[in-house]
Homo-oligomer: A and B are copies of this chain.
Amino acid sequence: MSTRIGILTSGGDCPGLNAVIRGVAKASYELMKDVEIIGIIDGYRGLIQGEYKLMKKSDFSGILTLGGTILGTSRQPFKQMRVIGEDNVDKVKAMKDNYKKMGLDCLLILGGNGTHKTAALLAEEGLNVIGLPKTIDNDLYGSDVTFGFHSALDIATEALDRLHTTAASHGRVMVVELMGNKTGWLTLNAGIAGGADVILLPEIPFDMDKVAAAVQKRANSGKAFSIIAVAEGAMEKSEPTKRKERLAARSAAGFHNISEKIAAAIIQKTGCETRVVIPGHLQRGGAPSAYDRLLSTQFGAYAAHLIQEKKFGVTVAKVGNTITQNKLSDIAGKAKLVSPDDQMVQVAKSMGISFGD
């Protein structure tokens, strides 16, 4: 009897999606007698609207190094996950109906936190779901690392490298805003790897005076330039805790990003020439790094084993050196955040890096 596997990729694109898809496919064809793979188009949108295609073996050739996703992706289907209102009920029904119409034995869902919430919901509703932890933010609960993170880290680190030469030549402060609205893993790691002098994270609210003092201290010691790596979701201690209020207050002061606010404060407090750089979507594009290709291939192969063993309602994870699984119901709705006591934060501090705290 054949096994019919559906795959969809959801949320922001990220390097490694195609490597995971290839890993699942190759290992499934290898492990199981008779496998059919259905590619669902543009994430949950395709599941809701019944848009999909039967994949051929050759579709999975040559995609290991390909950035983005060959299946397309879209943002989350539900605006408010907690309240499953009229509209959402319809969407869930449509997804279940299409799952049946496609004759799926299981559904593999590649995505981040939001995607996993929906995946957990579909599992509760009786679908055979397996999640795969994708995000450059690295904040998926229960996995030490997610695919995409190391590729983004390489890009962000290279950006910091480049800015070092221009900062040093001009004696400038460069404020580099990296991706990460709720979590600072990318900024923390890229900051250390890229030799930043100040690192500012959503999880560790900062004091602008301390940031300025760190810059001033370097200037006083003859180092005319500083590099500040700031996560887009970083905030001052004095700013409102609620995101909406915080953004409104910033906007009222004429700032669109936290980096602009920091730059203005540095100029005012230290007199140092300061510039802002926001690499933005550059951080999620292009081919996956060697690390991410390995991790993605491992994740994909592991998922194929789960399918073979009919083990559903779980998401693949890496814990220590082991590829393993977590129940979707255990991790959905949670996030893995940077603790101020994290080993990496302590390492950074021992390098003399300021967190402005």
Using CB atoms and an 8 Å cutoff, list the residues of chain A in contact with chain B. 9, 12-13, 15, 17, 23, 26-27, 30-31, 42, 64-69, 72-74, 144, 150, 153-155, 157, 159, 161-166, 168-171, 174, 189-190, 192-195, 256, 275-282, 284-286, 289-291, 293-294, 297-298, 301, 304, 320-321, 323, 343-344, 346-347, 349-352
Contacts and interface: CB of A to CB of B under 8 A. Distances in A.
A321 B13 contact: no
B157 A189 contact: no
Contact of A290 (B67, B190, B256, B281): B190
A17 B290 CA distance: 21
Chain A contact residues: helix, strand, loop or mixed: helix
Count this chain's copies in the assembly. Answer: 4
Given A164-B285, A193-B294, 20 more contacts: A27-B347, A30-B350, A64-B195, A65-B161, A67-B166, A72-B171, A73-B170, A74-B170, A150-B291, A163-B282, A166-B281, A189-B294, A190-B290, A193-B290, A256-B256, A277-B281, A297-B351, A301-B350, A320-B320, A323-B343
Contacts of A344: 294, 298
Contacts of A193: 290-291, 293-294, 297
Contact of A281 (B150, B192, B275): B275
A285 to B, nearest CB: 3
A100 to B, nearest CB: 27
Q: What are the nearest 6 A-B pairs in CB distance?
A: A162-B285, A67-B165, A320-B320, A68-B169, A68-B165, A13-B169
Nearest to A9: B169
Contacts of A66: 165
21 contacts: A12-B170, A13-B165, A26-B350, A26-B351, A26-B352, A30-B349, A67-B164, A72-B169, A72-B170, A74-B170, A163-B282, A165-B285, A166-B281, A193-B290, A193-B291, A193-B293, A256-B256, A278-B278, A279-B282, A301-B350, A301-B351
